[in-house]
Amino acid sequence: MASRNAGPLTAPDVARAMAYAQGRNLVWLETGRAAEFQSPAVPDRSALEAIMTHKAVDIFLTRPRGRRKAVLVADMDSTIVTAETLDELAGFAGMKEQVAAITARAMNGELEFHQAIRERVGLLKGLPISALEQAWKEIRYTPGARTLVATMNAFGATTALVSGGFSVFTARVAAELGFAIHRANILLDNGATLTGEVGEPILDKSAKLAALEELAAARGVKLTATLSVGDGANDLPMLKAAGLGVAYHAKPVVAAEVVNKVVHTDLTSLLFAQGYPASSFKGVET
């Protein structure tokens, strides 16, 4: 899959990749953007990337059977939306840089998640709850997010937004994009201001994995029939457990441990990775 902003994926590039991987059964999922082929063995990703003259290409390695997944579990912050919502909220308390520094360390696995979220929320004690609406106005969706959710919904998948962020935001994101389910932490207030506390239990990496397992069981499918996507250390367990786990513009600790990564492209690459042609996409963004 090639980035829209870096020129088209060319037939010669695809031919080089196929020759290296002994590929067959070439299919263009979108002319100039996404192609797939079958290989008799798992090719070396680094070697494939090296022979491509187009350097803004994401390569996915998947099994030919069971590619279309029955369950999608997506992280929210820096995955479905472009920013960290807690960092944005902290900006209204004049604490954005301090909170963002803690967030960055937590998402790279340098801080324990429970400790990090309590510390960050504690810094927001006394912030008027009107700031929640102000922060919401700053939220922007990641390119391809709407199309990803709409297409998987249309083809019968269960779509869930599971975030270590807050339900005040996941509820609205889920409603606008069409996620069937959303789960997140609860930001406590006294009716006028934030109390600086998080509702218990805290939704962490274990809860994200549990949600993936629960939703698969509810659909009566194995984890191989699931797709998860995220960027931070608290996403790692669900990314590694899913049949297709995708690190989306991920933190280094995540990118180092997850096979399939989006580095150059957008979230529609998760549809191409499942074998959906662009002609089948729903809710296409303009």
Active site residues: 75, 77
DSSP-H helix ranges across 22-110? 45-51, 85-91, 96-107
CA pair distance 250, 108, nearest whole angstrom: 9
Q: Are 270 and 29 in contact (CB under 8 A)?
A: no
Q: Residue 36, by phi and psi: left (phi above 0), alpha (psi -120 to 50) or beta?
A: beta
Q: What distances in angstroms separate CA 48 from CA 4, 257, 265, one per listed residue?
A: 20, 19, 17
Q: Are 83 and 231 in contact (CB under 8 A)?
A: no
Is residue 263 classed as helix, strand or coil in its secondary structure?
Answer: coil
The CA radius of gyration of the chain, in Å to the nearest whole number, is 20
CB atoms within 10 A of CB 101: 12
CA pair distance 54, 42, nearest whole angstrom: 21
Q: Are 278 and 30 in contact (CB under 8 A)?
A: yes
